[in-house]
Structure formats: structure tokens, C-alpha cells
Structure 1
Amino acid sequence: MLVLGPMLQEGVNASVVHMMKYLTGSAKTYVNAVQGYVDVKDVAKAHVLVYETPSASGRYICVESMLHRGELVDILAHFFPQYPLPTKCSDEVNPRKKPYKYTVEKLRSLGMEFTPIKQCIYETVKSLQEKGHLPLPSQLQH
């Protein structure tokens, strides 16, 4: 699972590195893979909900969406078309990977509401721009 969202730290963490490679053009294709995505603020909220609920027990799945990397690239292209995003999958031979089946109902039953993944991805890129890890669209050569 990848935890995204606005970064408090100055450095880039492992979860956003894979997104940056698409935005910077260092990846010419995207992989045929599916991954879980969640906003960092939602992970914090989930921890608090579970901690503060006396009846809470066991494991909780904290994921807003399962996205194929092609879907991630499509979302990035929608919000940030100025970046050199890949348009092809590195594995054109095999069928597109399907999302895993999971449920977050146990966490939702505690009152959890998730940040929409598109908003999370947008805020992640804006944070990368603000921290100087990505050029602003106006700084890109056309």
C-alpha cells in the first residue's frame, strides 16, 4: 500500500518515489501492477479511531482505492498534463492486472471516512511542487 498526501518532511518518502518517476519522465512506461492507496491523514485518523474505541480489536484495512498504475497515470495526466507522463504499459502482452478484493467496512463501522484518492493524488503533487521536488508547470519546457 502507498501512503500519499501532503508531506511534512523535507525529503521524499518511498511512497511518492514511484509517482515522481512518472511525473519527471524517468519512467517511459508504467508497470502492469495494482496497488492500494490511502491519504496519510486518513492513516492517522484510523489509528486514532481504533485507539479511542474500546471495542476495537484485531486488524483493520486502511485503503481508499486500489488502482492500476495506468489509472494512477490517467489521474496525474488529468490534473497535470504538462508533465511527461507515460502513456504505455511496460507489459502489453499480459492482461491488465485486476484490483485485489478487500473491505474497509470494519474501519468504516468506527466512523472512518476516507479522502477521495483523486484529491489525495492532487495534494501529493502540489506538496512535491511546494517542497521543490517537482518543477511547477510554468517552469516546464514545452
Structure 2
Amino acid sequence: MQKKMIEPAVSGSRNVINAAADVGSVRRVVMTSSIGAVYMDSRRSAGEEVDETCWSDLDHCRDTGNWYCYAKTVAEQAAWELAKERRLDLVVVNPSLVLGPLLQPAVNASTWHVMKYLDGSTRTYANAAQAYAHVHDVADAHARAYETPAAHGRYLCAGRTLHRGKVCRILAALFPGYPVPTSCKGDAGETAEGCRFSSRKLAELGVAVTPASQCLYDTVVSLQDKGLVPFVPATGMP
């Protein structure tokens, strides 16, 4: 698993940087990284704010078997190192879990995060917390990072961190016809907090972060439109 995730991520980043530098006329590359390259660190306390200066700890990723975050971290680090070597202006957007309308006809991992609460396949929600980003905000962040001359470094694109229980309660309130879980898995209760992500730097580019309720609403409507879940009327807009 780790080989399948790490090698393509690193080689893909290096290939893009080299291709852009070889053209000669390219001055800036905007790369999509992930919040996974930012927050994984055992020394970080629950509820602590993280920003674009933070990096995931590779030893912690390795020890916990989180090869996704490991791959995202080493891929972004490789891109920064090579961009400096090739004298290329690199700007990176680090989104959290991306929701909203789907372009593709199939369900991806991010969308499955919501769909599993709608189709009855999941009876409980995990004691975990997650931040969400709307796909329109992520696209806007990339465009502004490319077009704004003063843009530089990394930009976190993430909304407020929510417990899975809160996510399910939002879904149930918006679409009460779905069998959304009402109880937390295990006996711990809703104790997980997760990190707080700062998107203040992104706001300086003029990108506003869409509330999670709108992200969830737009995801469900898109799933309905594509026939991936049965149509259930919403009680209203978020």
C-alpha cells in the first residue's frame, strides 16, 4: 500500500515541476496538496490551531500507518525542493476533505464520506472529527493563487472542524428522509476534537470558505442528480 501511494505521488509532483520548468515560459505553478501534509503530528494537542507553517510529522505518519498523509507530505516537500532548484515560482493549495457537486459519474472517496450516511450501509458514525472544503472554494483558491502576483507559499482551504455526529445531525436536518445514523460507534461518545485550521491567509486572496452545511447540501443534491442515491426532498436550504 505504501509503495503504491508514495512513489506515484512523489514522481507525479516532480514530473509536473520539471515539465513546467522545461517549457521555459512558465513562471508559476499552482499545486494541489492536502491538509494531510499539514496536521499529522503527535505533538499537536486536540483543538490546536494549525496554519500554513505546519507540516505533518513523517515519523508519526509512518508509526500510525497513515500512508496517505505520508505520501502527501513527501510529495509536497519534493515539489518545493525541485521548484527551488529549477527556479520556478510554486504556490500550493492545501484543501481539507472536498465536498460539493461532482464532475465525475462515480463516487470518489470524499463523496463516499457522505453517501455512506444516506444509503443505510453505515448504522453508526465514528468518533472522529473532520474539516470540509467546498469544491468551488478550492477551484477559486487555485485561480486566485495563479492570478494574484503577490500570492506565495501555502494556502490552507478548510472550514470549521466538525465531529461526525454533527455532520450526521446536519444531514438529518436537511434531508430527514434518509436513514442517517444517530449514534456514535463504540462507547467513547463524541470526544474527538481534531485540529482547527486557519484559512486567514486564503482570505487575503479574497476566497471565502463555504460553511459545512452548504458543502453537505450541495453534495447530496449532486448525488441525487446523478442517480447515485434515491431522491429525498430537502426541508430547505442550509
Alignment TM-score > 0.5, same fold? yes
State yes or no: 1:83 paired with 2:178: yes
Give the SS at the match of 2:206.
coil
User: Aligned-pair RMSD on alpha carbons?
Assistant: 1.4
Comparing 40-49 with 109-118, which one deviates more in the overlay? 109-118
Structure whose alpha-carbon radius of gyration is higher: 2
Structure 2 counterpart of 1:134: 229
Give the SS at the match of 2:130.
strand
Structure 2 counterpart of 1:42: 137
Amino acid at match of 2:136: K
Matching of residues 33-72 of structure 1 within 5 Å: 33-72=128-167
Asked if 1 retains the 8 angstrom alpha-carbon contact of 2:163 and 2:190, the reply is no
Q: Distance in 2 between matches of 1:94 and 1:9?
A: 35
How many residue pairs get aligned? The number is 138
Structure 2 counterpart of 1:93: 188
Runs of 5+ unmatched residues, structure 2: 1-95, 234-238
Structure 2 counterpart of 1:117: 212
Q: For residues 82-141 of structure 1, what are the alpha-carbon distances to aligned partners after superposition, in whole Å with 9 as ceiling and x for unaligned?
A: 111111100322661113122111000111112222112111101101100000127xxx
Q: Distance in 2 between matches of 1:78 and 1:68?
A: 16
Runs of 5+ unmatched residues, structure 1: none
Structure 2 counterpart of 1:108: 203
In percent, how many aligned pairs have the same letter?
51
Give the SS at the match of 1:81.
coil
Q: Distance in 2 between matches of 1:121 and 1:94?
A: 23
Q: For residues 12-56 of structure 1, what are the alpha-carbon distances to aligned partners after superposition, in whole Å with 9 as ceiling and x for unaligned?
A: 111010211111111110001111101001000001111111111
Give 1:2 deviation, angstroms: 1.3
Q: Distance in 2 between matches of 1:45 and 1:8?
A: 16
Which structure has the higher relative contact order (CA within 8 Å, separation 6+)?
Answer: 1
Structure 1 counterpart of 2:99: 4
Asked if 2 retains the 8 angstrom alpha-carbon contact of 1:38 and 1:65, the reply is no
Change in 2 beyond 3 A, CA 1:88/1:38: same
Q: Distance in 1 between matches of 2:117 and 2:189?
A: 21
Runs ≥4 in structure 1, deviation > 4 angstroms? none
Q: Distance in 2 between matches of 1:81 and 1:2?
A: 24
Q: Distance in 1 between matches of 2:190 and 2:116?
A: 23
Comparing 26-35 with 86-95, which one deviates more in the overlay? 86-95
Give the SS at the match of 1:89.
coil
